[in-house]
A and B are shown apart, each in its own frame.
Chain A
Amino acid sequence: NSKREIKMRKLDSTKVRPLKSEQLLHIQDHDFALRPGFGGSPIPVGIDVQVESIDSISEVDMDFTMTLYLRHYWKDERLSFRSNKNKSMTFDGRLIKKIWVPDVFFVHSKRSFIHDTTVENIMLRVYPDGNVLFSLRITVSAMCFMDFSRFPLDTQNCSLELESYAYNEDDLMLYWKQGNKSLSTDEHISLSQFFIEEFSASSGLAYYSSTGWYNRLFINFALRRHIFFFLLQSYFPAMLMVMLSWVSFWIDRRAVPARVSLGITTVLTMSTIMTGVSASMPQVSYIKAVDVYLWTSFLFVFLSVIEYAAVNYLTTIEERKQLKKRGKASGTYSIDAVQAMAFDGCFHDTDVDMDLPAFSDRCEENESPAHAASISNVDTTRLKRKRSLKGNVGRIILQNNHVIDTYSRIIFPSVYILFNFFYWGLYI
């Protein structure tokens, strides 16, 4: 018995036996380099797509990455086999090298690959009558032209396009197998920054001057951006900075360092916010909605600094006029000291170069000589400074609110609120 087995095995090794699947499917009998129905009518290939996930949308690269199951349905009579059960035969990826499969590619794709762990994610299912189901799992990065003029209140329309590379519409007819229902999505498909509005399938013809007309299938989807992140990241800080700049109108105009540093620091923070937004955006040649808002807020903050410069300048002129008037009355004071008082609001405890002669307001004009006599042995400079301070400050305090400040307290907030109404009404 064993002798016969060995003999048989020896006989077997010299003969090359075709694989059972090949025998079953008569693969050697046909030339599968030629499409089914070669020379005759175009072969209809139905397409079905299940989108597994949209991995990422990149604004800077203007592309999106999608993982999908791509299924092809066609009929190849050369693959029909005899079967009494009418059940299909399922094969893995190794059979596709031996038979004909449609050569669908993704137009405008940048990178794509068929997943190959643990083996190539390919399925082939052949029915007894020759119908074939060919399924692949693919990740593709494709271009999507994005318009950012309404960013971040924008909606982007992207589409993935399928087409046969070699066969034009005379040879291969690509169509959606179930019309609009050919496109299905996993139930938990979601993006963190976008809301996926709708998936729809459409088809068209594409003309290439060198090669002819091709059937092209489109997977279209619309993405609406969630604005909440940008509200928190850009709009809200910008609004707060503008409100902070209004604080400067309520501060005493004599406090020069305070008002100037308040204005200039809000300008700096606005500038930082604007840089932060542009970092993650492509460098487009038109203005975006968020740019409109940030630049207008920047303008408001800038104007508050200019406003204080105007207030300060006019205050100086006013003081000079007043001092000229006073100078005619008493005749002995120095302009610098008074100006310093006006600007510092007399919050010094040491005076560097104050050398004030007696100076008074209405109240003390009568008594100044008497006082000078009675308290001559007291520290005269300090006393005089205080007296003159008191006198002059009184006059200045009366006009403490410059008229520009008073108007600004009302004009700036109301114009900003009006701008906000226009902006949000226009873009939402």
Chain B
Amino acid sequence: SHIYKKNRDVTKSWKGKTEQLLRVDDHDFTMRPAFGGPAIPVGVDVQVESLDSISEVDMDFTMTLYLRHYWKDERLSFPSTTNKSMTFDGRLVKKIWVPDVFFVHSKRSFIHDTTTDNIMLRVFPDGHVLYSMRITVTAMCNMDFSRFPLDSQTCSLELESYAYTDEDLMLYWKNGNESLKTDEKISLSQFLIQKFHTTSRLAFYSSTGWYNRLYINFTLRRHIFFFLLQTYFPATLMVMLSWVSFWIDHRAVPARVSLGITTVLTMSTIITGVNASMPRVSYIKAVDIYLWVSFVFVFLSVLEYAAVNYLTTVQERKERKLQERFPCACGIPHSKTMMLDGNYSESDANSLAGYTRNQMAPEEEKQEKMVVHLALSNESNSSRKRGSKGHVRLRIIQNSHAIDKYSRLIFPGTYIFFNLVYWSVFS
């Protein structure tokens, strides 16, 4: 008898128990609940799982969230003694009516489908439905970079029904501002998430009417530490390096020129590096201001040395012309200077230029004494030392050009002032 019964079962196709229970075939679920009647209210609840990435170049953000819908469909009510809900997976969704919520201004989105579609449907005996799914969505966010990297960005994710206007479907936040929850560990590496909050509005489309739109807004504040380390600190160091050139002897032409030009090259590289990962905006960013002002400082230090060198050369020429005009009178001081120069292993023609008639006048007496001493003693060392004592000071004073002296104070002072202004404006 067992086998007989089974044979009979095979010829008849049983409907799925759910369909029998929910009487899915009795109704036309392509039409919304209360079709032709008042708008059906659909409550929305969101739990944000993570903010995956924020892209400045594309000006978008990627978010993974659990999206839950709550509505009442009396066609799905079933008799139950325990008042417990029935839970179904995603395969029932195709057979009943569900709200067609979409993300306005989204670029790409998908419902996760590992291991099966991440969709849950829970039907209560009175016809209330809870419909939940897990979605990753990439949506546009207009970013303003005029204070980058000391900026805050406000982004929002917008939910709206695609087909049903506000006369057919009323979308609302189920618990007001508490409808939006976030996982406790939600965090981004480059940003501090300041707050999440919800709003709702009506949106008008000229062809299709008014729609309810829900907003998930959040504010992100950028962590500046990375940019301090990557951009600001190297730029400041380069500017300081360029100041080293003012303390180097102005006679060391190759050294000062290559120092200046290499710091310019490094600044140029830093500037290119920053712009590589940024969108090409048409306004100036805060980091651009800092880098370009630092570049100008470094550039000016090169120009400053060009001026020093040029003026030194001009002065030299004047000295030379002056000396040639008085050939015999300058014979005596020349010999003295020669003696003195002979004691200095580092003297050169430039410093000789300093010995004009005017400058020599007060020192001539000293020099004559020196010459006497020199003639008496045969030790070049002592004479050198004595000569050096008398004239080292003179030598060093004329070794620094006036421009260099002023630059040692002006450049650092101006740069520190610029930093004070910059950080107080942008912080």
Residues of chain A having any CB pair with chain B under 8 Å:
12-13, 17, 19-23, 48, 50, 52-53, 55-56, 67, 69, 71, 87, 89-95, 115, 117-125, 133, 135, 137, 139, 184, 188, 190, 192-193, 195, 226-230, 232-233, 236-237, 240, 243-244, 247, 250-252, 255-259, 261-262, 265-266, 268-269, 272-273, 276, 345-347, 349-350, 362-364, 366-367, 371, 374-375, 377-379, 382-383, 386-387, 389-390, 393-394, 397-398, 400-401
Chain B residues near A378: list those with CB within 8 A. Answer: 339, 342, 374, 380, 383
B281 contacts the other chain (Cβ, under 8 Å)? yes
Q: How far is the CB of B294 from chain A (nearest CB, A)?
A: 13
- Whether A91 pairs with B31 at a CB distance below 8 angstroms is yes
- Whether A390 pairs with B349 at a CB distance below 8 angstroms is yes
- Whether B163 pairs with A118 at a CB distance below 8 angstroms is no
Residues of chain B having any CB pair with chain A under 8 Å:
15, 25-32, 35-36, 58-59, 67, 98-111, 133, 135, 137, 140, 142, 162-165, 168, 205-208, 251-254, 256-258, 261-262, 264-265, 268-269, 271-272, 275, 279-284, 288, 292, 295, 299, 302-303, 306-307, 309-310, 312-313, 316-317, 320-321, 323-324, 327, 330-331, 334-335, 338-339, 341-342, 345-349, 352, 374-375, 378, 380, 383
A-B pairs with beta carbons under 8 Å apart, 7 shown? A19-B28, A67-B107, A90-B165, A118-B98, A345-B348, A371-B338, A401-B313
- Whether A389 pairs with B349 at a CB distance below 8 angstroms is yes
- Whether A192 pairs with B282 at a CB distance below 8 angstroms is yes
| Nearest CB in chain A to that of B318: its residue | A397
Chain A residues near B265: list those with CB within 8 A. Answer: 265, 268-269
- Whether B335 pairs with A371 at a CB distance below 8 angstroms is yes
Chain A residues near B320: list those with CB within 8 A. Answer: 393-394, 397-398
| Nearest CB in chain B to that of A230: its residue | B280
Chain B residues near A92: list those with CB within 8 A. Answer: 30, 100, 162-163
CA A401 to CA B316, docked complex, whole Å? 12
Q: How far is the CB of A20 from chain B (nearest CB, A)?
A: 3
| Nearest CB in chain B to that of A228: its residue | B282
Of the candidates B205, B208, B257, B352, which one forms a contact with A255 in the assembled complex, judged by CB atoms under 8 Å apart? B257
- Whether B324 pairs with A228 at a CB distance below 8 angstroms is no
Among all A-B residue pairs, the 8 with the closest Cβ atoms: A20-B28, A226-B282, A255-B253, A257-B254, A123-B163, A258-B257, A19-B28, A117-B109
- Whether A247 pairs with B264 at a CB distance below 8 angstroms is no
Given contacts A53-B140, A250-B306, A363-B327, contact A237 B271 (CB under 8 A): yes
- Whether B31 pairs with A20 at a CB distance below 8 angstroms is yes
CA A293 to CA B104, docked complex, whole Å? 43
- Whether A90 pairs with B168 at a CB distance below 8 angstroms is yes
CA A115 to CA B103, docked complex, whole Å? 9
Of the candidates B280, B292, B317, which one forms a contact with A400 in the assembled complex, judged by CB atoms under 8 Å apart? B317
Of the candidates B142, B207, B275, which one forms a contact with A190 in the assembled complex, judged by CB atoms under 8 Å apart? B142
CA A393 to CA B317, docked complex, whole Å? 10
Given contacts A115-B102, A349-B346, A389-B349, contact A379 B380 (CB under 8 A): yes
